[in-house]
Amino acid sequence: MPSKVACCLLAVAGALPFSSCCTQAPLPIEEEPSDQVQIIDTHIHLYDTNRSEGVDWPPATDKVLYRPVLTEHFDEVADREGIASTVIVEASSRAEDNQWMLDLVKDNPDRYLALVGNLPIGTDEFAALLDRFSKDSRFVGLRMRSRPGGDAFFSDAVWRDLGLLAEKGMTLDVLIHNFTIDEVTEVAERLPDLKIMINHLGGLSITEDPLDPEWKESMEKAAQCENVYCKVSGIFQRAGVKPVPKERSFYSPVFKIVFDAFGEDRIVYGSNWPVTDRGGSYSEQLGIIRGYFNPPVMRLDDSERGERIAKKLFRENALRFYGLE
């Protein structure tokens, strides 16, 4: 729609508030879960490009994301979309940015439940940093975004540090970009006490072509490990075609494979906001996911089961995985 495109261009230019960009009215009520689930969005990023030390991510060349993205921006999105609370995922590789984030959200613990941090796995300083940050109960785990140790991913130092994470009962999110799903499975099998979250539907590039059978097989193998979960998140970033499709049918085959593999107890909702704005609005991505995970679309005869799945996807599984119960 021209008005929507114009809105986005103006917002990028700074003429509109950040959260005004690419908004869309919520989907009709029949597309929403039948009960009012208190939704937890388990995947957002916050940062301030105006900090004197700058930011590690996003790069200044990113004309959509390179601007302050702070609590007031997400609060507006959350209030509009009915999001009760969130888990922040730290995208910076600088250890002290974990503390900056914890300090940023300390006055609103009901909305900002936890931080998935970023620490240098496989290094001499890892243990001390983990001890320090784990003293804050909101620091629930780590995300691996880049390969620790490079090609020597499965080094003794990496295994040592992943073992420390498991010993502390913390979690590991994995961005399937610099990793393979089979590597995640290897970690899960060797460290069965470490809860692992595969981010963004396992990193598949979704197109109109038949789904990659190797991806499907790898996801099904990973799902055999009971300590591995999958985030139904970042759906617009997984689209391998432009413009990013907004039809639920485009994503449904992937949703089905993930649900069939991981079941109702090990799938978790996340948006990947504000990166979502590269492909569409928060309302659009949430509406697509809500629209699929309801009894008629999933062909569930039992409406109570459908309500249970929605509660687990949008809230209960997140609480259990991140130890927030």
Domain count, the chain: 1
Which amino acid does the sequence have at 312? K
Does any domain span residue 8? Answer: no
Does any domain span residue 248? Answer: yes
The beta strand positions in the chain, using DSSP E, are 39-44, 83-89, 112-117, 139-144, 171-174, 195-198, 228-232, 267-269
Does any domain span residue 26? Answer: no
Residue 32, pLDDT score: 47
Does any domain span residue 14? Answer: no
Write the CA distances from 190 to 36, 122, 224, integer angstroms.
Answer: 39, 16, 13
Tell me which residue range forms the domain holding 138.
Answer: 31-321
State how beta strands 139-144 and 171-174 pair. parallel
Residue 16, pLDDT score: 37
Write the CA distances from 146 to 12, 94, 179, 199, integer angstroms.
Answer: 28, 13, 8, 13
Does any domain span residue 187? Answer: yes
| CATH number assigned to the domain comprising residue 284 | 3.20.20.140
Write the CA distances from 229 to 48, 54, 185, 255, integer angstroms.
Answer: 30, 33, 11, 14
Measure the CA angle with vertex 82, ends 173 and 38; round to 5°: 65
Q: What is the C-alpha to C-alpha distance for residues 300 and 306, in angstroms, rounded to an integer?
A: 7
Does any domain span residue 25? Answer: no
* CA end-to-end distance (rounded Å), the chain: 42
Is residue 138 within a helix (H) or strand (E), and if so which, with residue range?
none
What the block records as the tokens of 314 is 């949008």
Does any domain span residue 199? Answer: yes
Does any domain span residue 18? Answer: no
Cβ contact 313:58 at 8 Å: no
Residue 36, pLDDT score: 79
Cβ contact 203:183 at 8 Å: no
pLDDT in tens, 56-96: 999 999 999 999 999 999 999 999 999 999 999 999 999 99
Cβ contact 33:316 at 8 Å: no
State how beta strands 195-198 and 112-117 pair. unpaired
Residue 294, pLDDT score: 81
Write the CA distances from 30 to 20, 23, 27, 101, 148, integer angstroms.
Answer: 25, 20, 8, 37, 45
Tell me the backbone φ, ψ of residue 150, rounded to 5 degrees.
60, -130
Write the CA distances from 108 to 73, 105, 273, 282, integer angstroms.
Answer: 14, 6, 19, 22
Contacts by 97-102, CB closer than 8 A, 24 or more apart: 97/56, 98/133, 98/139, 99/133, 100/51, 101/46, 102/133, 102/136, 102/138, 102/139
The alpha carbons of the chain give a radius of gyration, in whole angstroms, of 19
Beta bridge partners of 199: none
Residue 306, pLDDT score: 82
For the chain, residues with pLDDT lower than 70 are 1-35, 149-152, 295-302
